[in-house]
Structures are given as C-alpha cells and as structure tokens.
C-alpha cells in the first residue's frame, strides 16, 4: 500500500511540474549582473562625468547646460572662456534638441523622442528605474521603439 501511495505522489508531482512548466513557471529568467556595466552617457540624474565630451561635439555628455558643466567643458578645451551657458543652450535650440529646461519627466515620450543618443531630439533625462534609463545610461539599443503616442511595440528596422 505504501509503495502504491509513493507512486501516486510521484505521478502527481510530475503532472504538477508539467503544468507549471507549461504555464511559464518553469522558464528560467536571467538575473541582472551584480555589478553595473560602465556608464556610457552621463545626464542630469546620474550627474556629470568630469572630462566627458559634450553631445553636440560628438561626445557622451547629455547633461542640461549649467555653469558647472560648461566650466568642465571649457577646462577640457571645448568652448572658449567667453562662451556662456546661454550660448550653449542656444546651440542646443539651433540643433532642434530640447533639454530639461524645456520639458521634464517625459522619459523621452515627448514628441521629440527618442533620446538624442538613439537619434531623437530629446535630451530630457530618462526616468530612473525604466528600461529607457538603462538603455541610455549604458548605451544599449533597445530592440523596440515607441511610435508616436501609441505604446505599441514594433521591431527596429536595423
């Protein structure tokens, strides 16, 4: 009798395992790395990385123009000493790029997106905790993009 009960238990356990596996519970997920990858692009919410090259000069700094940021650029030879923060802001405006001085908290879903690092016209810092934040910060190209106001996912055409 005991042998029969063990067989029934093992059979039921096998069926339960099969059901859970089919329902997605058996799919193994990939945990995130314990050590974050190296920051590629700096922006307001992560802070300016000293010595980084301004985005408009082909670099990786996407920080909103401020006096401190401009002084770092100038100390690295990117702009003359008589160049002002307003001059830098106007350079971004002439390039058609908006910053957090124009709009905040849009996560680059603002009509100007995607973020400038992905070819858009928005240099508004992405929202912390979102996939967009990680993609911009670590220079990853997401495999999906947002089309206008729709949140429908479509594959990139790359």
pLDDT in tens, 34-74: 777 888 999 999 999 999 999 999 999 999 999 999 999 99
pLDDT tens column, 126-157: 999 898 899 999 988 644 333 333 333 333 44
Please indicate, yes or no, if residue 11 is contained in any of the structural domains. no
Please indicate, yes or no, if residue 119 is contained in any of the structural domains. yes
Residues 6+ apart with CB under 8 A from 108: 114, 115, 120, 122, 124, 126, 132
Q: What is the pTM of this model?
A: 0.66
pLDDT of residue 66: 96
Please indicate, yes or no, if residue 141 is contained in any of the structural domains. yes
For the chain, how many structural domains are there in total?
A: 1
Please indicate, yes or no, if residue 79 is contained in any of the structural domains. yes
The 3-state DSSP class for residue 155 equals: strand
- Per the CB < 8 A criterion, the answer to whether 15 and 35 are in contact is no
Q: Which domain holds residue 75?
A: 40-155
Instruction: Indicate the pairing of strand 144-147 with strand 150-155.
Output: antiparallel
Please indicate, yes or no, if residue 25 is contained in any of the structural domains. no
Please indicate, yes or no, if residue 2 is contained in any of the structural domains. no
Please indicate, yes or no, if residue 81 is contained in any of the structural domains. yes
Please indicate, yes or no, if residue 8 is contained in any of the structural domains. no
Q: Radius of gyration of the chain from Cα atoms?
A: 24
Least confident range of 17-21, 121-125, 138-142: 17-21
């Amino acid at each position: 009798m005991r042998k029969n009960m063990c067989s029934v238990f093992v059979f039921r356990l096998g069926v339960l395992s099969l059901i859970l596996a089919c329902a997605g519970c058996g799919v193994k997920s990939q945990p995130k790395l314990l050590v974050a990858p190296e920051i590629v692009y700096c922006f307001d919410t992560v802070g300016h990385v000293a010595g980084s090259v301004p985005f408009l000069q082909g670099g990786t700094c996407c920080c909103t123009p401020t006096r401190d940021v401009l002084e770092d650029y100038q100390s690295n030879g990117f702009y003359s000493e008589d160049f002002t923060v307003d001059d830098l802001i106007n350079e971004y405006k002439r390039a058609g790029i908006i910053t957090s001085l124009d709009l905040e908290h849009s996560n680059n879903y603002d009509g100007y997106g995607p973020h400038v690092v992905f070819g858009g016209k928005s240099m508004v810092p992405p929202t912390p905790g979102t996939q967009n934040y990680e993609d911009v910060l670590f220079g990853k190209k997401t495999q999906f993009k947002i089309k206008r106001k729709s949140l429908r996912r479509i594959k990139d055409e790359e």
